[in-house]
């Protein structure tokens, strides 16, 4: 679903996308060789490796092999480091999409209590960092956090990136909070749902993102933005 949506978005904005659907038994060397070829091709501006990879492949080594200027997912250590320093070309697409959404709905972050549930490298950690850059007071929670509901109830802005269907219940949400649901999960009937129990929570908050149709499309929009930026960077075009 992710890959198809990305391909459709590329077509919609006029980018050419190439998909390499390799067999599961592809070796590390073969995959690295493909990344290397794409790194050197001048007509390729962005490369992303769709994770997770099969267990015998070393995803860290594969991400490290991508030219940081073509790393449109912003997972390469060079780009992660730049984000940490607050001086970056690319932001990881999902947290960037959340920030774009907050900006476009004119929801201020400065001085707000921001709680992120989840500390993955692709969502939770960079999400916390971006909220911090916007002067939020940030708490990042994870599976060892004590009194999670109590911590979440402090949040003016609550971001759920847990990967557990309908994990956030009404007793974890402050009245009037902004609730951002990053989750892409399946409920007991196999239906797509988020990490937030939308029906239970929606009347308590001032804003809430639906799943599907909330953070997911924003992620793809940010991927397009990163790819355009990569193309400009590689061709010396200023924004
Ligand atoms: P992940 O790598 O599995 O990380 C999940 C995080 O949740 C971990 O930090 C984990 O804590 C924490 N967690 C798990 N159980 C918890 C609990 N009971 N209480 C508190 N924290 C708990 O997942 P991810 O890659 O960040 O993805 C999270 C969700 O976002 C998934 O549903 C994924 O499909 C979705 N997603 C959506 C998009 C999009 O475009 N919309 C993009 C990426 C991901 P520990 O670190 O302690 O284990």
Q: Over the stretch 43-62, which tens digit does the pLDDT of each residue have?
A: 999 999 999 999 999 999 99
Q: Which residues of 191-226 are buried (b: 16+ CB within 10 A; e: fewer)?
A: eebbbbbbeebeebbeebbebeebbbebbbbbbbbb
- Measuring from atom 40 of ligand 1, which residue has the nearest CA? 216
The predicted pLDDT at position 201 comes to 98
The predicted pLDDT at position 98 comes to 98
- How many angstroms separate the CA atoms of 130 and 54, rounded? 30
Q: Across residues 166-175, what is the average pLDDT?
A: 98
The predicted pLDDT at position 225 comes to 97
Q: Measure CA of the first residue to CA of the last residue in the chain; give whole Å.
A: 31
Task: Tell me which of 8, 50, 187, 191 is the catalytic residue.
Answer: 50
The predicted pLDDT at position 2 comes to 83
Q: Is any ligand 1 atom within 6 A of the Cβ of residue 123?
A: yes
Among 87, 17, 16, 27, smallest CA distance to 54 is for: 27
Concatenate the DSSP letters of all residues of 59-77 into one string.
Answer: HHHHHHHS-GGGBTT--SH
Would you call 28 a catalytic residue per the annotation?
A: no
pLDDT band of residue 36 (cuts 50, 70, 90) is very high
Q: How much distance in Å is there from the Cα of 214 to the middle of ligand 1?
A: 16
Task: Tell me which of 6, 70, 125, 174 is the catalytic residue.
Answer: 6
Residue 180 phi, psi dihedral angles, 5° rounding: -110, 120
Q: Is any ligand 1 atom within 6 A of the Cβ of residue 210?
A: no
The predicted pLDDT at position 108 comes to 98
Q: What is the largest CA-CA distance in the chain?
A: 53
Q: How much distance in Å is there from the Cα of 42 to the middle of ligand 1?
A: 35
Mean pLDDT value across the chain:
97
Tell me which H or E stretch contains 115. strand 113-117
Q: Is any ligand 1 atom within 6 A of the Cβ of residue 223?
A: no
Q: What is the Rg, in whole angstroms, of the alpha carbon atoms belonging to the chain?
A: 18
Sign of CA dihedral 58, 59, 63, 66: positive
Q: What percent of the chain has pLDDT over 90?
A: 98
Q: Please tell me the chain's helix, strand, coil percentages from 3-state DSSP, rounded to the nearest 5.
A: 40, 10, 45
| Residue 192 pLDDT > 80 | yes
Cis peptide before 229 (omega within 30 of 0): no
């Amino acid at each position: 679903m992710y890959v198809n949506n990305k391909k459709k978005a590329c077509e919609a904005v006029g980018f050419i996308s190439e998909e390499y659907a390799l067999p599961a038994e592809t070796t590390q060397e073969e995959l690295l060789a493909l990344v290397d070829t794409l790194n050197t091709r001048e007509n390729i501006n962005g490369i992303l490796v769709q994770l997770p990879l099969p267990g015998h492949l070393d995803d860290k080594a594969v991400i490290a092999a991508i030219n940081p200027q073509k790393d449109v997912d912003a997972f390469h250590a060079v780009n992660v480091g730049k984000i940490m320093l607050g001086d970056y070309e690319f932001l990881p697409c999902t947290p960037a999409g959340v920030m774009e959404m907050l900006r476009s709905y004119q929801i201020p972050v400065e001085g707000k209590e921001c709680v992120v549930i989840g500390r993955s490298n692709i969502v939770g950690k960079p999400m916390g960092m971006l909220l911090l850059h916007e002067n939020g007071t940030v708490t990042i929670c994870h599976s060892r956090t004590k009194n999670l509901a109590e911590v979440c109830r402090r949040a003016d802005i609550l971001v759920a990136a847990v990967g557990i269907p309908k994990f956030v219940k009404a007793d974890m949400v402050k009245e009037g909070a902004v609730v951002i649901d990053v989750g892409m999960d399946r409920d007991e009937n196999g239906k797509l749902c988020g990490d937030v129990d939308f029906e239970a929570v929606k009347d308590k908050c001032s804003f809430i993102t639906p799943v599907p149709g909330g953070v997911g499309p924003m992620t793809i929009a940010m991927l397009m933005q990163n790819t355009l930026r990569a193309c400009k960077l590689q061709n010396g075009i200023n924004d």
